[in-house]
Structure 1
Amino acid sequence: MRSSDLACRQSWRRRHLFQHPRWNGVDFLEVSDEQRYLCVHFFGSIPEGIGVANVRIEGGRRIRDLRVLRVEIDRSGDPDQDDCLRITLDRIGDYSTYRLCFVERVTAQEGAAYRPFPGLDPRYACLDFRFRLDCAADQDCRVQPDCPPAFAPAPEIDYLAKDYASLRQMMLDRMALTMPGWQERHVPDLGVTLVELLAYTADYLSYYQDAVATEAYLDTARQRISVRRHVRLIDYRMHEGCNARAFVTLDTDSDIGPLLLVDCYFITGFAALEAEQGRVLPHELLAKYPPQAYDVFEPVAAGGAEGIRARAAHSTMHFYTWGDTECCLSRGATRASLIDGPQWSDDEAAPDAGRVLDLHAGDVLIFEEVKGATTGAPADADPARRHAVLLTSVTPALDQLFRQPVLEIEWAAGDALPFSLCLSARLPAQYDCARIADITVARGNVVLVDHGRRAPPDPLGPVLVRTELGECACEGSVIETSSVPQPFRPRLKHRALTYRVPFQPSASAQAMLAQDPRQALPDLALAQRQAGAADAGWQARYDLLASGVGERHFVVEMDDERNAHLRFGDGELGRQPAAGAVFDTRYRVGGGAAGNVGRDAITYMVYRPGLIDGAALMVRNPLPAQGGVEPEPLAEVKLFAPGAFRKQRLRAVTAADYAELAQQNASIQRAAADLSWTGSWYEARVAVDPLGVETLVQPLREEIEAALQPYRRIGHDLAVVQARYVPISLTLHICVLAHYTRGEVRARLQQVLGNRQLPNGERGLFHPDRLSFGDGLHLSRIVAAAAGVEGVERVKVLRLQRLDVPDDPLAATPQLDPAIAEGTLALGPTEIAQLDNDPDFPENGALTLILGGGR
């Protein structure tokens, strides 16, 4: 009996041999610790009559011809354990595989031929075993049967054949080799037609392979989606542009609203609309005009507002000058007064009953010059002198002297006037020296809008289903069959999807208009419908790297034709859409630089439900729209992306790192830092120079510390301190021209060399925002600033030194200041010069002016 080379993964025959009434076989054997004894177990009871002559052991590489010394039955004595046949050998074997067989009888005449012991199954009369195991203890030493597939020789492939002609010729050459009897080469032949179809398909696949290889690298990628994914791996956000925003004012003669935001939108005017009645149009009217003729601006839900409300009193509001004339709001102003109703008579008991203004903190006003300051004509008004402000405080007040209700308003510091606004003036002699008022007015009823046209309904889906089969159980059955959703990659029907920055509460009106295109997301809302019921919405994200398993997020990828491709999660990064799901879409198209329309370009309001009765409404945007940006070109992305990660500092190791990270706070002008050894570790001391002030308030200190903590190096302590201000003593001798008064020149010098903002908007030489860390005081700058004052003939610096360094009391005669001799008063890297020239605080710096000449 020879061993079989048959290898099977399932041993069905063993199951039939267990407790079979006629047939038996070897189940397994155990090798004793001494490796001299073998304990053999059978499927049934131990066959009777097995002796030494019936046991045969073959195999071995180094130790061969093992002899059996004794065969006996080893009774277990436990009904739960089987007895075994104990075989004693003359010696132990090596590490190779041996074969134990139970034969009928082994004789010298039979040689290698033998027959199984009577009653034993021929397939299980022998057993392979080892005396020693050469595999590790944590491995399964069982040899798995392997049935390798049949080997098929690979055909010879000409890799130089890449186009249609070469592929067609290669196939014809192959056919001539395999089918020499077929020699037809005419085009109408069916065989030639099949060859050409295969060559065409192969040509397409060859191009596809080349395209995939091209898109695999940033330098060679040509498709926008491929470049976007490549640069995201190096933390670069390629933007798809951004739409523009604008402020629209509503001028009405009666109160309107509230009108739902979803029912209104605004458009730019064009010639054909001039024939229409009014500035409020029904939505159906625009169907007869081409969409390319106008731009659409949708209202933005600013401050949680869901509707538009317009009050007649807010259309034009007048500034109150408290009875004075020839007034103006100076540059940098952040407060003003508005007339709030008519004057009341002395016998009126409740003057507040006549108030007409209903302004609140968070409202936006636009200041607009409506008359020329020198002519009083509306046509001479400067359209550039318009400014939007966000109100932060509204306080009713009363002018008891003139019996006038007043509304005191304040706006954000970020909206401080960039220029002065004339409120009232006196015209020159050619205009009869008349006094005019209301040169500048305030416009209310302001609506924030952004560019983008709403697209028609475009449902997506359904999500297709793929059936997955489980593993096989018993014959003819499957453990589990499941239906799973296929990857869902839909594409929107309409091109040029609008990208916008989601609106966040802003601290100023200017911040409401500002948008970072790299933070812009598609203006696309998805609502999933399943089994006829509306499901929760899905939110757009730039990527799914931070999306959880069940979060309803998706990504929009724009191709080169501005088609929007949607990509959903896979169940690990973002939720995977359910099988059969259908999505309802709501999105807008348009955007980019086309939305940056000029002032007074948005002139119509479109009301979807119809017309608005009882109001003569005028629509306009006093300020131009801004923020519209075109998609980032691929050439710029490939140029800037590889080095962009170096621009963003992600750790603080050196002192310069701490200073650079601290300066990212917009409330400080500059920061400086140094690392000092405390005896046990280093402490990073960050000195801060606040913007516009000289005092570091505690909230700002805590804000900077919290921002620096994530970047702090382990082992560094962190301390944010106020900058060290160095008081300066400056003495100048000024020679005044003969025809100028010394008092007038002194006042001008104190302004130019002061620490305040000048009437023309410039800052004094020692203004806190003009001095920063380590900025030494140069003699030439001081002399140039003083000599530039009208009426100054000559300037001489007599004293320039620090006040925190006392004079030497042992010096016999005053010494010339070193700063004057060197031309510069040097300061340390964490020091800032200070010259407030405040008589109440002389320790903060002093300016002494000695004037001669003049009159």
Structure 2
Amino acid sequence: MADCLAVDCGRPAPSPVPAPRSYEGVEWMAHDFDSLLRALLDRLPMLAPDWRDRSEADLGMVLLELFAYAGDQLSYLQDRVALEGFLRTATQHESVRKLLRLVDAGIDPGQAAQAWLLFEVQGAMPLWLPRGAAVATVAAGNEEPVVFETATDAVLHPGASRIALAADAPSTLDGLQIQCAANLAGAVGVGTRLLLQQSDTSDPHRDGQRAPAGEWVEVAAAAYGAVTTLTLAQPLRGSYLALGNPQAGIPPARVYGNAVPATHGQSQEAREAGTGGPRQAIALEHAPVTQEPVAEGGTRIALEVLVDGEAWVEVDDFIDSEAADPHYRLARDNAGLVSVQFGDGVAGAAPAAGASIVVRYRVGNGLAGQVAPERLVVPGAGWTFPDASQRVLAVRNPDASYGAREPQSLAEARLLGPMRLREPHRAVVPADYEAALAQGVTVQGRRIVPLQTHARVRHTGAWNTVFVSVDLVDRRPLAATPGLREALEAVLDERRMAGGDVHVEDARYAALHLALEIDVQAGHFARDVRQAVERALVGPLVQGLPFFGPGRFRFGQPVYLSDLYAAVTAVEGVRSVSVARFKRLGDRYPDREAQGVIEVGALEVARCDNDPAATENGVLFLRTRGGKEG
């Protein structure tokens, strides 16, 4: 009986491990057909010494040559697979893309050109133009026409096609108003984009290339009547004559409405039935697929996949996809052709057998969409409207297309991709969160860059939250711009550390209460000096930044009385200045003239707007002595 103290009675005795196979004599460097065949022939005397026939007609030699050929192919594929695993030697688009993802980089897909179109329409009622309406250039020679499609749904008003001015523009000194000789109620409203141009498109002999470019304006307010007065968001840069100057050959100025944004690309569609099998793929026939710009910045691919009428979702891969998830991924080859790939029923759903698969996409990207002004003049076919009187008379692009960008080449991606390792992509300390917002965000087509930010970390229970205070140029609260807070938090969310949270909030302002007595030099008008001092402190200035201008004071920066003295005495005509009040706004704050400094909190920004309609943002009293009256 075996000794149970020496042997584990509850387990069977281990079986002997077979000796490892010997690869002695194998030529590991044999990769091609000739070297593999030679290695096989050299091995024959050891394995089959009686086989001595080496003629090509021998069946054994035929088999050896087949094995050498198969080995040659496998060796090539083995080398290629190994080389695709390194960024320096990878040659396939998908290999480079996956390798760059390891360092949070990617291959820039480029961007389609954008353009603004002006429609001239007629009809008894406004026209509804759905998104995707196509316009094109006139084909010249063997060149294919360049097709653009509208990016949004639009309502086109006949009365806004061409509007005459009732008075020269601008009609006010501040350049913010124009008067139109028509009642534009219902056709032009707040936010409408218009083109003001000193030329008339009704002239059949006008050369569009020589027409003055004019300028785009955005309506901030409108007063309707027989003469409609439009208040603009920004002052006009130029002047426009309502009647023109026939003697000098200057045509009347006109206001053109019905402006619709468009992007380069032509709609395509691919249809296929589901096979029910795993990893079904649909190769798209046309390329390159359009990369549409989005209002938030960046681009998105103009492609959607419908399976039995249901929209499926694009993912980078199927790693996190469940069996029932309606996901698909896109694969690109080196020629730019795209294929749509579905899951296998385990990682991502597979379309059922016989399912109707529809892939809608647009073709047109990069510099091929560069179009000169007045070239997009051919409306697309199939434009029909409910009323017989509704018709599109003309369409044009007053400006050249813009924003086109070519896709990044694989060579450039391999060269620049690793450089991303030198850029910080994770916010660790509060300064990293502040730097992340330095480039700003795009909201509703407008780029908003904060003047300054201040971040702090606070424990809020189970985790830490980074609170980022934002000081904007217009000093408006974040809630006044829909989507701004979400856009800023989205930027920070991409960089935050795991296990933490981010929250963007409005900057806190320390409103000031100041009263100054100014002694005016003889020979200067007291009123002019008083206005100059007010402009130097709160603006507006033609050049430079006022003392209390946005961005002048940082978070937590105190206000020193000596700096205020220096700003006032630098104004021409000021002989001396004395302070009657120097404090924060509010009865609970004492006067700080004796101390010579107003302290503010670490999360506050000193502010004194002196706006009579918003006294809570700071008050400034100025009193003058001496000087001339008038």
Indicate whether the TM-score tops 0.5. Answer: yes
Which residue in 1 is equivalent to 2:224? 397
Q: Which amino acid aligns with 1:500?
A: E
Counterpart-to-counterpart distance in 2, 1:718 and 1:616: 47
Which residue in 1 is equivalent to 2:284? 492
Which residue in 1 is equivalent to 2:619? 844
Contact 1:327 1:423 (8 Å CA) reproduced: no
Which residue in 2 is equivalent to 1:691? 473
Q: Which amino acid aligns with 2:305?
A: L
Contact 2:479 2:485 (8 Å CA) reproduced: no
Which residue in 2 is equivalent to 1:69? none
Secondary structure of the residue that 1:252 maps to in structure 2? strand
For 1:749-764, list aligned pairs within 5 A. 749-750=532-533, 752-758=535-541, 764=546
Which residue in 2 is equivalent to 1:630? 406
Find the partner of 1:223 among 86, 89, 92. Answer: 92
Report the alpha carbon displacement of residue 443 of structure 1 after superposing the two structures with TM.
Answer: 1.9
Contact 1:754 1:837 (8 Å CA) reproduced: no
Report the alpha carbon displacement of residue 496 of structure 1 after superposing the two structures with TM.
Answer: 1.6
Counterpart-to-counterpart distance in 2, 1:203 and 1:262: 55
Secondary structure of the residue that 2:281 maps to in structure 1? coil
Q: Deviations over 1:213-235 (max 9, x none)?
A: 22224454332211222333454
For 1:697-736, list aligned pairs within 5 A. 707=489, 722-726=508-512
Is 1:365 paired with 2:144? no
Find the partner of 1:766 among 548, 571, 593. Answer: 548
Which residue in 2 is equivalent to 1:832? 605
Q: Which amino acid aligns with 2:160?
A: H
Contact 1:683 1:718 (8 Å CA) reproduced: no
Which residue in 1 is equivalent to 2:144? 293
Contact 1:371 1:381 (8 Å CA) reproduced: no
Which residue in 2 is equivalent to 1:563? 337
Which residue in 1 is equivalent to 2:327? 553
Counterpart-to-counterpart distance in 1, 2:471 and 2:458: 20
Contact 2:87 2:414 (8 Å CA) reproduced: no
Secondary structure of the residue that 2:398 maps to in structure 1? coil
Find the partner of 1:244 among 96, 113, 128. Answer: 113
Report the alpha carbon displacement of residue 655 of structure 1 after superposing the two structures with TM.
Answer: 4.7
Contact 2:160 2:257 (8 Å CA) reproduced: yes
Contact 2:527 2:629 (8 Å CA) reproduced: no
TM-score (norm 1): 0.56
Counterpart-to-counterpart distance in 1, 2:162 and 2:549: 38
Q: Which amino acid aligns with 2:98?
A: R
Counterpart-to-counterpart distance in 1, 2:67 and 2:278: 29
Find the partner of 2:380 among 606, 613, 616. Answer: 606
Contact 1:327 1:425 (8 Å CA) reproduced: no
Counterpart-to-counterpart distance in 2, 1:853 and 1:162: 101
Q: 1:417 to 1:235 in 2, by over 3 A?
A: same
Which residue in 1 is equivalent to 2:416? 639
Which residue in 1 is equivalent to 2:182? 340
Q: Which moved more, 1:601-610 or 1:691-700?
A: 691-700
Which residue in 1 is equivalent to 2:394? 618
Q: Which amino acid aligns with 2:224?
A: A
Q: Deviations over 1:47-91 (max 9, x none)?
A: xxxxxxxxxxxxx223xxxxxxxxxxxxxxxxxxxxxxxxxxxxx
Which residue in 1 is equivalent to 2:444? none
Counterpart-to-counterpart distance in 2, 1:744 and 1:675: 49
Secondary structure of the residue that 1:597 maps to in structure 2? coil
Which residue in 2 is equivalent to 1:526? 305
Counterpart-to-counterpart distance in 1, 2:150 and 2:508: 44
Report the alpha carbon displacement of residue 584 of structure 1 after superposing the two structures with TM.
Answer: 3.7
Q: Deviations over 1:816-853 (max 9, x none)?
A: x979xxxxx99875453434456896963456777879
Secondary structure of the residue that 2:325 maps to in structure 1? coil
Which residue in 2 is equivalent to 1:211? 80
Find the partner of 1:387 among 187, 207, 216. Answer: 216
Q: 1:616 to 1:367 in 2, by over 3 A?
A: closer
Secondary structure of the residue that 1:607 maps to in structure 2? coil
Report the alpha carbon displacement of residue 209 of structure 1 after superposing the two structures with TM.
Answer: 1.2
Q: Which amino acid aligns with 1:526?
A: V
Report the alpha carbon displacement of residue 605 of structure 1 after superposing the two structures with TM.
Answer: 1.0
Report the alpha carbon displacement of residue 753 of structure 1 after superposing the two structures with TM.
Answer: 1.1
Q: Deviations over 1:246-284 (max 9, x none)?
A: 221112355688576488411123546xxxxxxxxxxxx
Contact 1:365 1:442 (8 Å CA) reproduced: no
Report the alpha carbon displacement of residue 297 of structure 1 after superposing the two structures with TM.
Answer: 0.8
Identical counterparts, % of pairs:
22
Secondary structure of the residue that 1:766 maps to in structure 2? coil
Q: Which moved more, 1:712-721 or 1:800-809?
A: 712-721
Q: 1:623 to 1:706 in 2, by over 3 A?
A: closer
Q: 1:564 to 1:797 in 2, by over 3 A?
A: farther
Counterpart-to-counterpart distance in 1, 2:389 and 2:504: 65
For 1:410-449, list aligned pairs within 5 A. 416-417=233-234, 419-424=236-241, 439=253, 441-449=254-262
Counterpart-to-counterpart distance in 1, 2:69 and 2:136: 51
Q: Which amino acid aligns with 1:447?
A: V
Report the alpha carbon displacement of residue 315 of structure 1 after superposing the two structures with TM.
Answer: 0.8
Counterpart-to-counterpart distance in 1, 2:252 and 2:544: 27
Q: 1:594 to 1:700 in 2, by over 3 A?
A: closer
Q: Point out the structure with max Rg over C-alpha.
A: 1
For 1:814-829, list aligned pairs within 5 A. none
Report the alpha carbon displacement of residue 607 of structure 1 after superposing the two structures with TM.
Answer: 0.9
Q: 1:419 to 1:146 in 2, by over 3 A?
A: farther
Q: Which amino acid aligns with 1:595?
A: G
Counterpart-to-counterpart distance in 2, 1:265 and 1:338: 31
Secondary structure of the residue that 1:422 maps to in structure 2? coil
Q: 1:705 to 1:850 in 2, by over 3 A?
A: farther
Counterpart-to-counterpart distance in 1, 2:64 and 2:270: 42
Counterpart-to-counterpart distance in 1, 2:477 and 2:125: 48
Q: 1:383 to 1:491 in 2, by over 3 A?
A: same
Q: 1:427 to 1:698 in 2, by over 3 A?
A: closer
Q: 1:705 to 1:431 in 2, by over 3 A?
A: closer
- Structure of greater relative contact order (alpha carbons < 8 Å, 6+ residues apart): 2
Counterpart-to-counterpart distance in 1, 2:592 and 2:395: 70
Is 1:316 paired with 2:162? yes
Secondary structure of the residue that 2:79 maps to in structure 1? helix
TM-score (norm 2): 0.72
Counterpart-to-counterpart distance in 2, 1:315 and 1:704: 37
Counterpart-to-counterpart distance in 1, 2:28 and 2:104: 38
Is 1:670 paired with 2:452? yes
Q: Which amino acid aligns with 2:2?
A: R
For 1:248-259, list aligned pairs within 5 A. 248-254=117-123, 258=127
